[in-house]
A and B are shown apart, each in its own frame.
Chain A
Amino acid sequence: MTATLAKENVIGRPIDRIDGRRKVAGAAPYPSDFDLPGQVHAALISSTVAAGRITRIDRSRAEAAPGVLTVLTHDNAPALVDPPQNALGSTMRRPLRDDRILHYGQHIGIVVANTRAEALAAAKLVEIEYAEEDPVLDLDDPRAAVEDNPFGMASSRGDVPAALAAADVTVDGTYTIGAEANSPMGLFTTVASWQGGRLVVHDTTQAPSFLRIALSVMFEVPEENVRVLIPFLGGGFGAGLRLWSHTVLTTLAARVLDRPVKLVLSRPQMFHSVGHRAASRQRVQLGADRDGRLTALDHDAIAANGMGDNLPSPIVAVTPATYACANVATHERRAHLNIPYTGFMRAPGAVEAHFAIESALDELADQTGVDPVELRLRNYAEVHPESGKPWSSKALRECLEVGAQRFGWAGRDPAPRSTHDGDQLVGQGMAGASFEFYALPCTVRLAVDRRGNATVRTAGTDIGTGTYTITAQITAELLGIDVENVRVVIGDTDQPPAPQSGGSGLAGALAAAIQNAAGELAEQLARLDGRPGESFASLLDRHGLDELAVTGYSDLAGAATHSDVAPAGAFAAAYAEVGVDEELGVVRVRRLVSVIDGGRVFNAKTARSQAIGGAVMGIGMALLEELAYDPNSGRVANGTFGDYLVPVNLDVPDLDITFVGEPDTFNPTGGKGLGEIGIVSIAPAIANAVHHATGRRIRDLPITLDKML
């Protein structure tokens, strides 16, 4: 970039999100708010058993019901092509492929009628008989097919068995985490419309570019004839990262009828149609010397996976990079169950791994008598433990130290059960967190005009993290204009392709692509013979140009392969204080300190909101959330907001959020993704605080009161 264009201190400023006014006015259109001329309505037919085959389908009563236009099931629907793999691993088994039932709630048909009420009523009239089989629902079920190392994430350095045998102190713990539902507030919706040979889909997706490719393949139309629109999402937390069957079925129905079709999932359907955090079990073995210095770390993880599904569950991916330890081995397995498809949920893998590792470290601190914070500093990975390269940025030490100071950790009596407050036992716990660097290629189109305005266009979307706003800020700073003069056009695959909003990968990749575009723009402007300090508006005007547009591109992961630094993700530390009612077993978080190294923060206000969101979802994970399956039918037994408990306002204590660290030296804009790191250390900090309060080590999330009695 040339210095003449840069406008200082726009990036990072805590400006109000630029889409905020539309959202508080109810004027931001979510997929369910779109209605198209001639639109008709769909309802899904869902399996009422978890395993088996469909032996008979009778559509006749439904087809004869008022207003019904079509009923599609596996035996009468046009065949589709299988969806392709993408950068997130597998997509799903295509719907209506055959008569097999793999999980309760599987979408086995779709009814379309003139009104939503007619479609819902008719869906109940489809008669289905099953040859039911006994479902496999539990990780421990010996019938479950278990795959070893399906994605090659197992790793080994040094000699773990020898190091464990020789260790002064060992910890061996098994940690389980219940399945969790992402539960975004927005009901996932598809409005599909075929316009000539062109497909236009409003769909609740975090990955519009991937969805475009998938629909193009499945419906055999060129990619440029598929347009996915998602300007506002209604939350995702990973639920919108996969291709889901309701999207495919709605698109199929629209093609069959040649009319726009709208489908809005119900809340109960959300619990079995858009993925969840897989139930998991981990065993962590630590070996250490008497001073708490790690000599061995063995991490074995098994996670649930849908039957016939192929989704990576990257629990052990982060483990080798967390701490300096010469001997580290990781093992990854997955068990195929008759459960609704799993998916990605905030910090997938990393948050599960940290619950196990950071709990085990607390147990090691207990055994060695080394303070938990000091223990983590003694095992601090000053360089990347695998590659030996220096980190592109790492302020985990500062996270730990600043957090300890803000929390008042120094005054803590390490003895469990040492603090009371009325009838409550009070405990304090902490945990660290490391997140993996992640990026995919990103393309933007950047245009400036003679009125002094800029427009940034990319297919990626804003799931509530603040993508609209930081895009405007980064562009404004690089071009030397005000944020108000930047227009952001996103959530539309007619714009250049972008990564999904997920994996904390979009902000960094997008920022780098905008910077690349701004550099290209500066070069083009320089060729126009600009005068010192002249604005681009004046320059364009002088040359009679209405607009100048360039394309920017970033491929950070590609650049990482030949970098002499180890590209870092975000780091964090959390400190929690809990109160435990010993008679009732109720655990409440009294206060929480979260310190995050996210590199250069693009917007201090929206970044803080991300940290808050992660912390609160972490409270839910630690204390409230677990999907329950009926052991006989495989039905999700708590699939409503009355039964599946997410944190409410009163569950959230005073939160103390701080950002530390320096701009990252690998990402050209200095930023690291922030969406996920905020949850990673919360559940172990709370579990460790529960141990400090009560002397009881709960290795099974969520920590509900039945586990405390």
Chain B
Amino acid sequence: MSSATTARSTQVTVELRVNGRTYPVRLDSTTTLLDALRDDLHLTGTKKGCDQGACGACTVLRDGKRIVSCLTLAAQCDGSEITTIEGISEDGHPHPLQEAFVRHDALQCGYCTTGQVMSAVALLREGRAGSDDEIREFMSGNLCRCAAYPNIVAAIREVAES
């Protein structure tokens, strides 16, 4: 979106399916999924940390796999099932990873946290929580400048073992 010149822009209509709900949206073809989520759908739990795919703060699930939503065009997601932090609680109960993150203080400022949690949800599904070192490696795409890293590992380990 940042380099879009409006004069050359093309509007497209996309059906975004997010957290089980369908949102028909009309947006510029260059709009990223991240901006669509935040600006058009007002789902601001997904954060923008770099807009360059380098920090992981904007991590969401697309058809169950973790992606950085800042490097994904919204128009590419027509027909995909997107899951954001707003969509992982069940029956009003927080996801076990959300509970574990709080219990282990796996966050400080909290800005990267939703991306960390989404990445961890996918990591468990990928079967990459076999050891602390494996968790560290496969969570290394999610930066945390407050450096809650050891507590993030502890939170994920606890859920993986339960």
Partners in one complex: yes
Q: How far is the CB of A534 from chain B (nearest CB, A)?
A: 35
Decide if B89 is an interface residue (CB 8 Å cutoff).
yes
User: Given A117-B28, A187-B48, A612-B150, A641–B102 Cβ distance below 8 Å?
Assistant: no
7 more A-B residue pairs beyond the given contacts A117-B1, A616-B147, A642-B54, with a C-beta to C-beta distance below 8 A: A20-B102, A20-B105, A65-B6, A186-B109, A235-B146, A612-B147, A641-B50
- Check if B109 sits within 8 Å of A266, measured CB to CB: no
Contact with A along B127-138 (1 / 0, CB 8 A): 000000101110
Query: Once the chains are docked, how many angstroms separate the CA of A654 from the CA of B147?
Result: 13
Contact with B along A143-155 (1 / 0, CB 8 A): 0000000000000
Describe B's contact surface by its main secondary structure. Answer: loop
Q: Which residues of A contact B150 (CB under 8 A)?
A: 612, 652, 654-655
Query: Once the chains are docked, how many angstroms separate the CA of A646 from the CA of B149?
Result: 12
Q: How far is the CB of B3 from chain A (nearest CB, A)?
A: 8
Query: Once the chains are docked, how many angstroms separate the CA of A418 from the CA of B145?
Result: 35
Q: Which residues of B contact A649 (CB under 8 A)?
A: 135-137, 139-140, 142, 144, 149, 152-153
Smallest Cβ-Cβ distance to B103: which chain A residue: A16
Query: Once the chains are docked, how many angstroms separate the CA of A19 from the CA of B39?
Result: 24
User: Given A66-B7, A183-B145, A613-B146, A233–B109 Cβ distance below 8 Å?
Assistant: yes
Contact with B along A464-477 (1 / 0, CB 8 A): 11100000000000
- Check if A234 sits within 8 Å of B44, measured CB to CB: no
Describe A's contact surface by its main secondary structure. Answer: loop
- Check if A465 sits within 8 Å of B144, measured CB to CB: no
Q: Which residues of A contact B102 (CB under 8 A)?
A: 16-17, 20-21, 24
Decide if A557 is an interface residue (CB 8 Å cutoff).
no
Decide if A608 is an interface residue (CB 8 Å cutoff).
yes
Decide if B113 is an interface residue (CB 8 Å cutoff).
yes
Q: Which A625-668 residues have a C-beta within 8 angstroms of B? A: 640-642, 646-650, 652, 654-655
- Check if B109 sits within 8 Å of A235, measured CB to CB: yes
Decide if B86 is an interface residue (CB 8 Å cutoff).
yes
User: Given A613-B146, A650-B136, A66–B109 Cβ distance below 8 Å?
Assistant: no
The residue from B6, B55, B101, B149 contacting A185, defined by CB atoms under 8 A apart: B55
Q: How far is the CB of A210 from chain B (nearest CB, A)?
A: 20
Q: How far is the CB of B118 from chain A (nearest CB, A)?
A: 9
- Check if B109 sits within 8 Å of A234, measured CB to CB: yes
Q: What 5 pairs across the A-B complex have the smallest Cβ distances? A: A26-B45, A464-B109, A23-B110, A616-B147, A464-B108
Query: Which residues on B are within 8 Å of A, measured CB to CB?
Result: 1-7, 9, 28, 30, 38-39, 42-52, 54-55, 57, 84-86, 89, 94, 98, 101-103, 105, 107-114, 117, 133, 135-137, 139-153
Query: Once the chains are docked, how many angstroms separate the CA of A608 from the CA of B104?
Result: 11
Q: How far is the CB of A411 from chain B (nearest CB, A)?
A: 25
Q: Which residues of A contact B43 (CB under 8 A)?
A: 26
Contact with B along A42-78 (1 / 0, CB 8 A): 0000000000000000000000011100000000000
Smallest Cβ-Cβ distance to B4: which chain A residue: A117
- Check if A185 sits within 8 Å of B107, measured CB to CB: no
Q: How far is the CB of B11 from chain A (nearest CB, A)?
A: 12
How many A residues touch B, CB cutoff 8 Å?
A: 66
Q: Which residues of B contact A650 (CB under 8 A)?
A: 133, 136-137, 140
Smallest Cβ-Cβ distance to A184: which chain B residue: B145
Decide if A94 is an interface residue (CB 8 Å cutoff).
no
Decide if A218 is an interface residue (CB 8 Å cutoff).
no
Query: Once the chains are docked, how many angstroms separate the CA of A650 from the CA of B141?
Result: 10
- Check if A609 sits within 8 Å of B5, measured CB to CB: no
Q: Which residues of A contact B117 (CB under 8 A)?
A: 24
Query: Which residues on A are within 8 Å of B, measured CB to CB?
Result: 16-17, 19-30, 32-33, 35, 65-67, 115-118, 120-121, 182-187, 232-237, 264, 266-267, 463-466, 605-606, 608-610, 612-613, 615-617, 640-642, 646-650, 652, 654-655
The residue from A19, A121, A646 contacting B145, defined by CB atoms under 8 A apart: A646
The residue from A185, A233, A463 contacting B49, defined by CB atoms under 8 A apart: A185
- Check if A185 sits within 8 Å of B1, measured CB to CB: no
The residue from A25, A65, A183, A234 contacting B98, defined by CB atoms under 8 A apart: A25
| 6 chain-A/chain-B pairs, Cβ below 8 angstroms | A33-B38, A116-B1, A266-B51, A465-B108, A606-B108, A609-B105
- Check if B149 sits within 8 Å of A464, measured CB to CB: no
- Check if A17 sits within 8 Å of B109, measured CB to CB: no
Q: Which residues of A contact B28 (CB under 8 A)?
A: 117
- Check if B114 sits within 8 Å of A26, measured CB to CB: yes
Query: Once the chains are docked, how many angstroms separate the CA of A640 from the CA of B70?
Result: 15
User: Given A185-B143, A640-B52, A20–B1 Cβ distance below 8 Å?
Assistant: no
Q: How far is the CB of A119 from chain B (nearest CB, A)?
A: 10
User: Given A24-B98, A640-B52, A642-B54, A652–B105 Cβ distance below 8 Å?
Assistant: no
Query: Once the chains are docked, how many angstroms separate the CA of A121 from the CA of B2?
Result: 8
Smallest Cβ-Cβ distance to A183: which chain B residue: B145
- Check if A27 sits within 8 Å of B52, measured CB to CB: no
Q: How far is the CB of A703 from chain B (nearest CB, A)?
A: 19
- Check if A30 sits within 8 Å of B47, measured CB to CB: yes
Smallest Cβ-Cβ distance to A115: which chain B residue: B6
Q: Which residues of B contact A463 (CB under 8 A)?
A: 109
The residue from A35, A232, A612, A613 contacting B110, defined by CB atoms under 8 A apart: A232
Q: Which residues of B contact A117 (CB under 8 A)?
A: 1-2, 4, 6, 9, 28, 30
- Check if B143 sits within 8 Å of A121, measured CB to CB: no
User: Given A183-B145, A185-B143, A641-B55, A232–B1 Cβ distance below 8 Å?
Assistant: no
- Check if A232 sits within 8 Å of B54, measured CB to CB: no
- Check if A613 sits within 8 Å of B148, measured CB to CB: yes
User: Given A24-B94, A184-B111, A642-B54, A617–B147 Cβ distance below 8 Å?
Assistant: yes
Smallest Cβ-Cβ distance to A182: which chain B residue: B145
Q: How far is the CB of A675 from chain B (nearest CB, A)?
A: 10
- Check if B85 sits within 8 Å of A33, measured CB to CB: no
Smallest Cβ-Cβ distance to A469: which chain B residue: B105
The residue from B38, B52, B145 contacting A235, defined by CB atoms under 8 A apart: B145
User: Given A465-B108, A605-B105, A652-B149, A640–B98 Cβ distance below 8 Å?
Assistant: no
Smallest Cβ-Cβ distance to A609: which chain B residue: B105
Q: Which residues of B contact A182 (CB under 8 A)?
A: 145
Query: Once the chains are docked, how many angstroms separate the CA of A608 from the CA of B106?
Result: 11
Q: Which residues of A contact B135 (CB under 8 A)?
A: 649
Query: Once the chains are docked, how many angstroms separate the CA of A95 from the CA of B148?
Result: 36
Smallest Cβ-Cβ distance to A678: which chain B residue: B147
User: Given A24-B107, A616-B147, A185–B112 Cβ distance below 8 Å?
Assistant: yes
